[in-house]
């Protein structure tokens, strides 16, 4: 049986005595990581100069191999082209895009560094599965180095419409990089459609969901990332017994909890979300003391000016809401800018009557799925979800909102507050069934099955 080789920008934290820390990509790939698999990526270490040294550790039968990046490359490749250029453009926010050729040169150099290091580790029959926007050029370099293995790529973020993708000066080269794969996977049908349209626009032969270019066939698939439903539910049930969760329940004093949990990122729509909550408190004064909103916003890319400005804006908005609406024994908004453990979040999701997930654009958004998985089916909460999250294509029974429409979001909060138990149960049953059908196991198995098949 062929060995699976995972390639991602970062490798999960591991030790010899335990597997990867649960969360994110590690959960999505858990079913695929059989003993003998290899996971390769950046160590998180930044050096004064480039290094070709590979570090490895074996945990749970899986080898985790890493390389270090030079400090200058990290800034230009990661903070620069990956997150100042590709991230905002792929999330359809062209006004936030910053491009310079030096950043792209570093991106190409790091992708080549990944490929050359990986070349020393792979075996002739390995299946290679590359992940996400930071590594769009790795496969093309591997092909130039003579690698004939089956190589797949999965894009975790949206793929932009061609009219936006074409704004990238290296758009042509990035598409050529994607064409070096045998299978390219997307979260949603619109993402795949944008990719295929971009290929057609450049004269690539596209028939159905397949493409042919320079004698190579490429298959495009849609296989959304999911969560381990039962594991997360068990985590939530255990977590509500923890001291921290009991303290939250006591502090609510019978009020409904509304929760949001995000990275502190401009794509997550936090300023508009705070405005919507303020609008809700203004328009529905009879609800004011019946709700408490907890926003957990873990710091992200704190070295980038746009993220510093976002944090300042949210600090101001949170202060304004609490200043205007707080009472002697009630604070309407609790705003945390530090990370919360996965277990504690699971417990808070189970306690929360409303899950508010309103990104301006998102590839999928696993928080929405985790909120559903955490609920008590006998007394479930209500999910309010942005229609521009990939998860909205899978979860139509949520209260879908336009995250740019502050009034619509305020009305959705009010609707969720008033929803009957019967309707909550009906919606949750349907949502839970969908989350189960598209869980982490379905994601990894469907991609690996496609990658294991022959061309086309």
Could you report the per-residue pLDDT of 318-345, keeping only the tens digit for each?
Answer: 999 999 999 999 999 999 998 888 999 9
- Does 233 lie in the same domain as 163? no
- Does 168 lie in the same domain as 277? no
Which helix (H) or strand (E) segment holds residue 271: the answer is helix 270-283
- Does 260 lie in the same domain as 132? no
- Does 266 lie in the same domain as 208? no
Tell me which DSSP letter residue 268 carries: G
Determine if the pTM surpasses 0.85: yes
Residues 346-372: what's their mean pLDDT?
97
Evaluate whether 277 touches 333 at the Cβ level (below 8 Å): yes
- Does 321 lie in the same domain as 365? yes
- Does 178 lie in the same domain as 30? yes
- Does 113 lie in the same domain as 21? yes
* Structural domain range at position 110: 4-226+440-452
Evaluate whether 391 touches 405 at the Cβ level (below 8 Å): no
Distance CA 439, CA 441 (A): 5
- Does 294 lie in the same domain as 220? no
Could you report the per-residue pLDDT of 361-377, keeping only the tens digit for each?
Answer: 999 999 999 999 999 99
- Does 174 lie in the same domain as 286? no
Q: How far is CA 208 from the centre of its chain?
A: 27
The pLDDT score that the predictor gives to residue 120 is 97
- Does 242 lie in the same domain as 214? no
Could you report the per-residue pLDDT of 402-456, keeping only the tens digit for each?
Answer: 999 999 999 999 999 999 999 999 999 999 999 999 999 999 999 999 999 864 3
Residues 293-309: what's their mean pLDDT?
85
- Does 444 lie in the same domain as 350? no
- Does 178 lie in the same domain as 62? yes
The pLDDT score that the predictor gives to residue 31 is 85
The pLDDT score that the predictor gives to residue 59 is 92
Domain CATH number, residue 412: 3.40.50.2000
Distance CA 163, CA 66 (A): 36
- Is a pLDDT exceeding 60 seen at residue 20? no
Residues annotated catalytic, as ranges:
156, 362
The mean pLDDT of the chain is: 94
The structural domain count of the chain equals: 2
The pLDDT score that the predictor gives to residue 454 is 62
């Amino acid at each position: 049986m062929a060995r699976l080789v995972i390639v991602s920008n970062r490798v999960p934290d591991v030790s010899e005595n335990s597997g990867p820390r649960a969360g994110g990509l590690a959960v999505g790939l858990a079913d695929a990581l059989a003993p003998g698999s290899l996971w390769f990526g950046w160590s998180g270490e930044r050096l004064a100069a480039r290094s070709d040294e590979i570090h490895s550790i074996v945990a749970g039968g899986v080898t985790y191999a890493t390389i270090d990046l030079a400090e200058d490359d990290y800034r230009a490749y990661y903070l620069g082209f990956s997150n100042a250029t590709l991230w905002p453009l792929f999330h359809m926010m062209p006004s936030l895009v910053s491009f310079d050729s030096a950043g792209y040169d570093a991106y190409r150099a790091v992708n080549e560094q990944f490929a050359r290091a990986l070349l020393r580790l792979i075996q002739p029959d390995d299946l290679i599965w590359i992940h996400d926007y930071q590594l769009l050029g790795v496969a093309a370099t591997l092909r130039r180095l003579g690698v004939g293995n089956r190589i797949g790529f999965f894009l975790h973020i949206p793929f932009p419409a061609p009219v936006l993708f074409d704004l990238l000066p290296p758009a042509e080269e990035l598409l050529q990089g994607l064409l070096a794969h045998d299978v390219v996977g997307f979260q949603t049908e619109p993402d795949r459609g944008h990719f295929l349209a971009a290929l057609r626009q450049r004269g690539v032969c596209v028939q159905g969901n397949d493409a042919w270019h320079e004698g190579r066939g490429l298959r495009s698939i849609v296989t959304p990332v999911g969560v381990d439903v039962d594991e997360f539910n068990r985590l939530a049930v255990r977590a509500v017994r923890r001291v921290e969760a009991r303290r939250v329940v006591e502090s609510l004093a019978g009020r409904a909890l509304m929760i949001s949990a995000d990275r502190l990122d401009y794509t997550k729509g936090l300023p508009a979300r705070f405005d919507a909550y303020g609008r809700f408190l203004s328009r529905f004064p009879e609800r004011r003391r019946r709700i408490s909103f907890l926003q957990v916003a873990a710091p992200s890319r704190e070295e980038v000016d746009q993220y510093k400005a976002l944090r300042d804006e949210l600090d101001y908005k949170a202060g304004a809401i609490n200043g205007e609406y707080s009472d002697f024994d009630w604070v309407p908004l609790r705003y945390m800018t530090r990370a919360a453990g996965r277990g504690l979040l699971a417990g808070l999701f189970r306690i929360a009557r409303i899950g508010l997930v309103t990104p301006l654009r998102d590839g999928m958004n696993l928080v929405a799925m985790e909120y559903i998985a955490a609920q008590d089916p006998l007394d479930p909460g209500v999910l309010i979800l942005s229609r521009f999250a990939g998860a909205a294509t899978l979860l139509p029974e949520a209260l879908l909102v336009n995250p740019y429409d502050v009034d619509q979001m305020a009305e959705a909060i009010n609707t969720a507050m008033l929803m009957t138990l019967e309707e909550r149960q009906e919606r949750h049953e349907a949502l839970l069934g969908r989350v189960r059908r598209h869980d982490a196991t379905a994601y990894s198995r469907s991609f690996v099955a496609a990658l294991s098949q022959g061309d086309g």
